A and B are shown apart, each in its own frame.
Chain A
């Protein structure tokens, strides 16, 4: 083997950075062919992502970094940017070139970051993105003059359409080979003197680890995370930094504002005569719409109305598709059943376990697709940022701010990316509080539980409109509880200080069909993948626990009891009763259902459910619901499959009746004071839904909570949510039965 083959080829590294919501990830996807999630609101990318980009005849590694307004890193996602640029991630070196993605409609503020980065001396290519929006606004930018003044290539791009990509690739290739240096700011005497004094004050062994840019960050930033990273004593560091700032104070400049002051002066000189803005007195389209959507009263009405329409559509729009999935499931069972007739155990595993369990879950795929269609539309139009702004007031009251709302809103799809999105929150305490509350948001895994129970009980009792209203209301149960808990947590548990909330409003734009379809495809793919992996595995295990043990004597005893019962009822001899049962299809089916029910009753899971059921009795749960709840702790949507298997194995659902909803309707109490009465009534149904709305039933969420905070807080989340769910379910049931 040659030496070249033994040594892994190291690709040149190019970092892509820019302000939030400037379309970096769209450009990244176009350049690498990857499909990272994009959206029209800030804070989607919270960690660095890498891909390989073809460049001429070679390849380079492209790194997509989270959006940041400056290198003064305050939040964890912003620190990633500084660490990558300084070469402090996993011991890797700084990138060889940087693509700075700049919003063409907001040039001066976006170039602030580029100007900061220029001080690293790394070649920079400016991608002037959202060029189409700048043209639409009537902005006139002299690209040649800008490029000349910056001493850097400036390429106009439209990430969404791919416009300017060949030119951008060529500019990156040229930057890697020619290594041009972008024009740097000339710091005034006071700043240079302050920097010199700080450098001298830093202990020699620490100074050697620091780059010029990092010394400047120590000088200008309020409480730089660099102090902790390099292990400088905090008290000593703050004293030394404050002393070094004296020349700035002497020059009449506040050190915390100094960088912005000097940089904007520098950028003002660069941009003079480069940009011609249109008449600003005319309101832009986005501003006119915002007058309504951000209105303190009408804005909230529109928000609630919009959410109501979304959940009505999710509930009412999926019927025909669900019927189709049900038809496929029943068809598969009727084909497989006779085929495996010689192997009843395997037949039961496949029909009652795999097809029934997975089918009961997959039937909700249409709802998931419709929900994500709306989520994608709201994200891509830029409405999500407005929703965060609207919620700021409510969140401010409970000790958080609108910045917490963006991760919480993401948690409506899934809490895992929602918790990761908390990296955009600067204050560690506010971030922790948001992490603890994110799992309360009604994620898409709760949707199948709600739709099954609402479809089976609320719609027949109250009609389709109220069924939609119930689905809408269930999505706000978690949010309402989260607001109250945030108030409690931020005052008594994790005391936070009021935080200002600044969020850049993205321009409204027509949703791009490709993004919307991709988001739906992704959601559907993940849903089906879960059905075929973890749900399938749990389904098989639940089947086994409900199928075994299976003593033959039980079937004999049940048959004997049934024959005796039939003989007494018909005044027949036992032989005649036996013959009558064998001759009647209906009686045979009744006998089989009784045998199946007895087997499920004495199965391992049946016994476990009966042992634990008293804990859930005050919430109105029987042992079968209890088993469903227990099986759902790894992933809450498992309850649908588990109930499907319980009723299928118990003979309540078969390929003829086929309907889990009907089986739930027919369930009655076997014994006790309510013997013969239906188990499922509206108080029980709402009790179950409230339990699922509040309970911590997602292994992935707990693991991510631990990763982003600690196992202690993950355990806290599990216990507080589970206790809250039990209390909520008991309260709903107990109040409900008294009102009935």
Chain B
């Protein structure tokens, strides 16, 4: 009975990963950095501060 739960969970995790990566790449192309750091002037790297506002 576990097999369908297992398939659902694995599909969900892999699907989320693919979705996140697509969103991330779109952010990189659009902002020059990761979408998660889109409020940041030079995000997506270890040198970037957390509170930079891109203006």
Q: Could you mark each residue 33-48 of chain B with 1 if its beta carbon is under 8 Å from any beta carbon of chain A, else 0?
A: 1101000011111111
Q: Which of A372, A414, A416, A523 is the most central at the interface, judged by chain B CB atoms within 10 Å of its CB? A: A416
Give Cα A522 to B49, complex, Å: 7
Partner of A414, one of B46, B51, B55: B46
Most central of A342, A415, A538, A704 by chain B CB within 10 Å:
A704
The answer to whether B49 and A523 have CB atoms under 8 Å apart is: no
Q: How many pairs of A and B residues are in contact by the CB < 8 Å rule?
A: 129
| Interface-lining segment among A43-51, A112-120, A317-325 | A43-51
- Interface membership of chain B positions 1-32, coded 1 if the CB is closer than 8 angstroms to chain A and 0 otherwise: 01001110110011011101100110011011
- Name A residues whose Cβ lies closer than 8 Å to a Cβ of B: 34-37, 47-51, 89-90, 342-343, 345-346, 349, 368, 372, 410, 413-417, 420, 443-444, 522-523, 525-527, 529, 533-534, 536-541, 544, 634, 699-700, 703-704, 706-708
> Could you list 26 examples of A-B contacts with CB < 8 Å?
A51-B51, A343-B2, A346-B10, A349-B13, A413-B46, A415-B45, A416-B32, A416-B43, A416-B47, A420-B42, A522-B46, A526-B45, A533-B20, A533-B34, A533-B36, A534-B24, A537-B16, A537-B18, A537-B21, A538-B21, A541-B14, A544-B17, A700-B28, A703-B29, A704-B42, A707-B32
The residues of A that contact B49 with a CB separation of less than 8 Å are 34-37, 522
Shortest Cβ gap from A551 to chain B (Å): 16
Q: Tell whether A368 pairs with B51 under 8 Å between CB atoms, given A346-B10, A699-B25, A706-B32.
A: no
**B47 lies within 8 A of A523 (CB):** yes
CB–CB B41/A537 < 8 A: no
Q: A372 to chain B: which residues have CB within 8 Å?
A: 46
Task: Quote the shortest CB–CB distance from A107 to chain B (angstroms).
Answer: 30
Q: By the criterion CB–CB under 8 Å, are A536 and B46 in contact?
A: no
In the complex the two chains form, is A417's CB within 8 Å of B17's CB? no
Q: Which chain B residue has the least Cβ–Cβ distance from A444?
A: B46
**Most central of A35, A51, A529 by chain B CB within 10 Å:** A529
Task: Please give, as numbers and ranges, the residues of chain B lying within 8 Å of A410 by CB-CB distance.
Answer: 47
Residues from chain A with Cβ under 8 Å of B14 in the complex: 349, 540-541, 544
CA A36 to CA B42, docked complex, whole Å:
12
A703: which of B2, B5, B32, B53 is its contact (CB, 8 Å)? B32
- Nearest B residue to A543 by beta-carbon distance? B14
A45 nearest CB neighbor, chain B only: B41
> Beyond the given A342-B2, A443-B45, A540-B13, could you list 5 further A-B residue pairs with CB under 8 A, ordered by the A residue number?
A34-B51, A49-B52, A538-B17, A700-B33, A706-B32
CB distance from A672 to the nearest CB of B (A): 34
Which of B6, B32, B34 gathers most chain A CB within 10 Å?
B32
Residues in chain B near residue A703, CB distance under 8 A: 28-29, 31-33
- Once the chains are docked, how many angstroms separate the CA of A706 from the CA of B31? 10
B32 contacts A368, C-beta separation under 8 Å: no
The answer to whether B10 touches A416 (Cβ under 8 A) is no
Shortest distance between the CB of A91 and any CB in chain B (Å): 13
Instruction: Determine if B45 and A416 form an interchain contact, defined as CB atoms under 8 angstroms apart.
Output: yes
Q: Which of B6, B7, B10, B55 contacts A49 (CB 8 A)?
A: B55
Residues of B close to A37: CB separation below 8 A: 47-49
Which of B's residues lie within 8 Å of A, judged by CB?
2, 5-7, 9-10, 13-14, 16-18, 20-21, 24-25, 28-29, 31-34, 36, 41-53, 55
Residue of A49, A345, A415, A523 near B53 (CB, 8 A) is A49
Q: Which 9 A-B pairs have the closest CB atoms?
A: A414-B45, A540-B17, A523-B46, A707-B32, A700-B44, A343-B6, A537-B17, A416-B45, A704-B32
Query: Chain A nearest CB: distance from B20 CB in Å?
Result: 5
Q: Within the assembled complex, what's the spacing in Å between the Cα atoms of A414 and B42?
A: 10
Chain A residues whose C-beta falls within 8 Å of the C-beta of B2 in the assembled complex: 342-343
Q: Report the nearest A residue to B51, measured CB to CB.
A: A34
Q: B51 touching A35 by the CB < 8 A rule?
A: yes
Determine the residue in chain A with the shortest Cβ distance to B20.
A537
Give Cα distance in the complex from A78 to B51, angstroms: 22
Residues of B within 8 A of A707 (CB): 32
Q: Which residues of B contact A413 (CB under 8 A)?
A: 45-47
Determine the residue in chain A with the shortest Cβ distance to B21. A537
**A50 and B55: CB pair below 8 A?**
yes
Q: Which of B21, B28, B41, B48 is A522 in contact with, Cβ under 8 Å? A: B48
Pair A349/B10 contact, Cβ less than 8 Å: yes
Residues of B close to A49: CB separation below 8 A: 41, 52-53, 55
Contact call B50/A35, Cβ cutoff below 8 A? yes
B44 partner residues in chain A, CB cutoff 8 A: 416, 700
**Complex: A526 Cα to B9 Cα, angstroms:** 28
Most buried by A among B13, B46, B53: B46
Q: A47-B41, A522-B47, A526-B45 are in contact. Are A416 and B55 (CB under 8 A)?
A: no
Closest residue of B by beta carbon distance from A346 = B6
Please, how many angstroms separate the alpha-carbon atoms of A700 and B42 in the complex?
9
List residues of chain A with CB within 8 A of the CB of B21: 534, 537-538, 541, 634
For A89, the closest partner residue in chain B by CB is B55
Cα–Cα, bound, A659→B37 (Å): 34
Min CB gap A655→B, angstroms:
20
Q: Which residues of A contact B48 (CB under 8 A)?
A: 37, 414, 416-417, 522, 526
| Most chain B C-beta atoms within 10 Å of own C-beta, residue among A50, A444, A699 | A699
Task: Report the minimum CB–CB distance from B18 to chain A (whole Å).
Answer: 6
Residue of A90, A413, A703, A706 most packed against chain B (CB within 10 A): A703
Query: Roughly how many angstroms separate A346 CA and B3 CA in the complex, as a whole number?
Result: 10
CA distance A46 to B16 in the complex (A): 36
Beta-carbon contact of A534 and B34 below 8 Å: yes
> Hey, which chain B residues are within 8 Å of A345, CB to CB?
6-7, 10
Bound CA–CA A36/B2 (angstroms): 50
Which chain B residues border A534 with CB–CB below 8 Å? 20-21, 24, 34
Q: Tell me, rounded to whole Å, the shortest Cβ–Cβ distance linking B44 to chain A.
A: 4
A416-B42, A540-B14 known; A50 vs B6 contact (CB < 8 Å)? no
Chain A residues, CB < 8 A from B9: 343, 346
Q: CA of A699 to CA of B34 in the docked complex: distance in angstroms?
A: 9
**Which chain A residues lie closer than 8 Å to B10 at the CB level?**
345-346, 349
Is the pair B45, A417 in contact by a Cβ cutoff of 8 Å? Answer: yes
User: Closest Cβ of chain A: how far from B43's Cβ, in Å?
Assistant: 8
CB distance from A649 to the nearest CB of B (A): 14
